[in-house]
Amino acid sequence: MRAFKLYFKVMRSSIAAILTYLGIFVVIFNFIIQAQLPSEKEDLNIQEHKIAVFDADQSTVSKAFTAYLAEHAEIVELEDTEIAVNDALFDGDVYYVIRIPQGFGAQMLDPERNNAELNARGSIYVHLSIASAQLVESYNRTFQVYKQVFGGSIPEGQLEETLDSIRTDLQVEVSTRAFQSGDASKLGLLGLSFNYTFYIIIALLSAVIGGTLISMENQAVKRRDLVSGIPERQRTFGIFLATLLFSVVLWILLIVILYSWLGFDLLNDNRSPWLIGVSFVHMVAILAIVNFFITLLRNKGSVSFFSTVFSLALSFTSGVFVPLEFIQTPVRKLASFTPTVWAVKANETIVNMPEQAPDYSFVWQAMGIMFLMAAAFLCLTLVVRRSRQRSVA
């Protein structure tokens, strides 16, 4: 396994970059904990959500949704003008503005849809806007679970009764999240922290693996290996095995950091293994994508540019740094061709999963899509490497 050993010798030059990105992750994670996890020595101070709702649908579903929001937030009456809304958001009179379009109820009940279009805007108080967005996401996820219970479509005769059951379930769930500082709130924080590990995984794999692969694919190094009798297939396998080992070790390190700070007792929660599973599949998919794009590049300068642009662009468009509700629909659709947005959606589904009727079908779907992406990019990488082998020969 000469290529395997050589890979890690070359990687030694990237130790500084590895430590830098791990330091960034620790700083970000510490900031998240300090900002969102209440201190055990202080009273828990809950600031009520302030939400403005403009309902153009006026359906049974939209009215139930508005009633749910009113139970967990202060509904602020605003004049329905752009100036009034902008002023309220800027002055802090409202933290979140929701416009329910016509057809919202029909979209929510549609068996072919997992959500409905909502026009939502947050204020400059980002943390409060995110909390309000989570109220919306909790309702949608629970609504979809009940749809699955009925086989994909809620019968019209049981619609009102079902809407009341959803509000009852969410009354317990949201209250627990708002007023407990124990495992319930820590699980939500764990899910958010897993999202931030996605950025570190993307940045580190593209930077470290990228720089190392460029050195390994240097024509002089490659010709020397081939002349010395190392088959290209064996060389490729050694490189792939080395990149996978590095990625798995990095991933395990990040997982250990998360649970050591938040508490290994969270592993006892049934949803925790699902978060870990989604994270692992995402890591494999990102590794395959990075290997493909790095194989196309020729010099370390292009790798450095690719690493920075790829990691930041993917993180900002996939819901890692900015909640998906704040991202425009065309951008979200474009991001759906990347594994990160599926991982973020899966994490949100897991964290918001009601204990009364857990349904992990979407999580399985998301992991399956990420596996397919990994397989596709792995095949493309092998095709590119084979074509390069012919040119060298």
Mean pLDDT of 24-35: 67
Decide if pLDDT at 182 tops 50.
no
Q: Are 86 and 121 in contact (CB under 8 A)?
A: no
- pLDDT higher for 151 or 343? 343
pLDDT at 365: 94
In the chain, where does DSSP find H-type helix? 2-11, 15-36, 60-72, 82-91, 104-109, 126-149, 159-179, 183-204, 210-216, 219-227, 232-262, 272-296, 300-317, 329-335, 339-351, 361-392
Which amino acid does the sequence have at 111?
Answer: P
User: What's the CA gap between 195 and 184, in Å, rounded?
Assistant: 17
- Model-wide pTM > 0.75: no
Mean pLDDT of 61-67: 92
**Two structure tokens written together for 249:** 């070790």
**Which pLDDT band holds residue 220 (cuts at 50, 70, 90)?**
low
At 76-91, the pLDDT tens digits run 999 889 888 888 888 8
User: What's the CA gap between 276 and 255, in Å, rounded?
Assistant: 8
**Which pLDDT band holds residue 294 (cuts at 50, 70, 90)?**
confident
CA angle 120, 125, 128 (to 5 degrees): 70
- Least reliable range by pLDDT among 2-16, 167-181, 346-360: 167-181
Q: Spell out the SS3 assignment of 12-48.
A: HHHHHHHHHHHHHHHHHHHHHHHHHCCCCCCCCCCCC
Name the residue ranges covered by the structural domains of the chain: 2-37+184-392, 49-180
Q: What is the DSSP letter of 76?
A: P
308 contacts: CB under 8 Å, gap ≥ 6: none
Q: Are 35 and 60 in contact (CB under 8 A)?
A: no
**Two structure tokens written together for 278:** 């989604």
Decide if pLDDT at 181 tops 60.
no
Decide if pLDDT at 38 tops 70.
no
**Two structure tokens written together for 193:** 């922290």
pLDDT at 284: 94
Whether CATH 3.30.70 fits 49-180? no
Query: Phi-psi bin for 99: left (phi > 0), alpha (psi -120 to 50), beta?
Result: beta
pLDDT at 225: 57
Mean pLDDT of 183-203: 78
